[in-house]
Amino acid sequence: MKRFTTLVVLALFLIAVPFAMAAETKIVWKSSGHGPASDPSQIFHDEACKAITKATGGRLTVKPFVGGSIIPVYKELDAVNDNVLQMAYTCPMYNLDKWSAAGLISSRPGALAGEVLRAWFDYAGGAALMNKMMTGYNVITMPGCLSPLPEEVFLHSKVKIRKVSDLKGLRVRCMGDGGEVMKKLGASVVIISGGDLYEAMQRGVLDAFEYSTLASDWNMHFNEVAKYVILSPVRAPSDPQVFFFNKTAWEKLPEDLKVIVQEVVSSYTQKQHEYLIAESIKAVESFKKAGCEVYKLPKEVEDAVAKAADEFYTAKSKKEKPIFAEIYNSMKNFGKAYDSMK
């Protein structure tokens, strides 16, 4: 009887071991940012990946990759859709080739200020609208995944912009809908990745460019290639970046890991926003000390940009798919409601 009992226990052990091993199977994800290694958005992406790995005790290991190192830069969501990446941190506007409405939840003229944009995204249906926009694509996002970031620099420029006519013929890097608005004002818009801007300015390919916040731009040594730092929120009152996930990979995650990922991502997107506000304040003085002229964009030019943007979005809302107007009006109404409290 004792021998029989031992055999039964052994058999149960042999059956249980594979199940236990399966339960402890480690999940490995790959995630890419969109910027060079020195870009704060890339740094915070990498730190978030490491924090997820640590918080899950290695049950979910997220391997971070620098923008362009595993797939072409700005093609992060294509890679997420194809499950080459399971996670990515990128700007919605880099996906205008798939969804024209992506430019609305981005660094666009007339958008919501940073903290208001995050509130809309998290609590007023913004994330759900973005998922609706991406219907048919194996990619999702969720509340907490958007880092609004402070307003972008209007332009780093070799040329001083004093009046609207100074924009005519200006060879400028300006992404997304902001680029379309600048075209309406006569600028010659060029699409160049953030990591190539320094060299493009050195070689004379560009006269001016926009790229993220003062803090990010100081770290990328743009003071060495552009004398003028022109400030205004009119072109991009915020510079949102969003974490996206492969939908299938997300749905396979155990529920406790989903909670951890959401909490870690939400924490790091908020931290990045606050950090860049503080660092951008410091960066103003750094640019000045480096010999750059930092000044506010003249109101004449601001008004012209705002007018061109309003005309652009009014016309576009009438001809695009319904989701475009749905997102645009949702943001606009939320902004009006917010302003009514002031």
User: Model confidence over 189-224: pLDDT tens digits?
Assistant: 999 988 899 999 999 999 999 988 898 899 899 999
Which residue type sits at 127?
A: A
pLDDT of residue 16: 41
Instruction: Indicate whether 82 belongs to any domain.
Output: yes
Residue 224 in domain? no
**21 vs 85: which has the higher pLDDT:** 85
- Residue 222: which of 205, 240, 209 has the closest Cα? 209
> Mean pLDDT across the chain, nearest whole number?
91
pLDDT tens digits, one per residue of 9-52: 434 444 443 444 345 689 999 999 998 898 889 999 999 999 99
In the chain, the number of structural domains is 1
204 within a domain of the structure (yes/no): no
Print the domain residue range for 49: 21-149+240-278
- CA count, 13 A, side-chain hemisphere, 67: 26
| Domain-embedded: residue 160 | no
**Residue-wise pLDDT tens digits, 90-115:** 999 899 899 999 989 988 888 899 99
Residue 68 covered by a domain: yes
Residue for token pair 């699409």: 191
Percentage of the chain modeled with pLDDT above 90: 81
Whether residue 298 lies inside any domain: the answer is no
Model-level pTM? 0.81
Structural domain contains residue 4:
no
Asked whether residue 58 is domain-assigned, the answer is yes
62, 150, 193, 43: CA torsion to nearest 10:
-30
Q: Could you give the C-alpha distances from 31 to 45, 59, 62, 256, 342, in angstroms and in order? A: 9, 16, 7, 20, 40
Separation CA 195–CA 71 (nearest Å):
15
pLDDT digits (tens, 9 = 90+) for 288-326: 999 999 999 999 999 999 999 989 998 999 999 999 999
Residue 87, Cβ density class (10 Å: 0-12 exposed, 13-18 middle, ≥19 buried) = buried
Q: What integer pLDDT is reported at residue 212 of this predicted model?
A: 84
Mean pLDDT of 66-89: 96
CATH of the domain at 61: 3.40.190.170
Beta carbons of 176 and 109 less than 8 angstroms apart: no
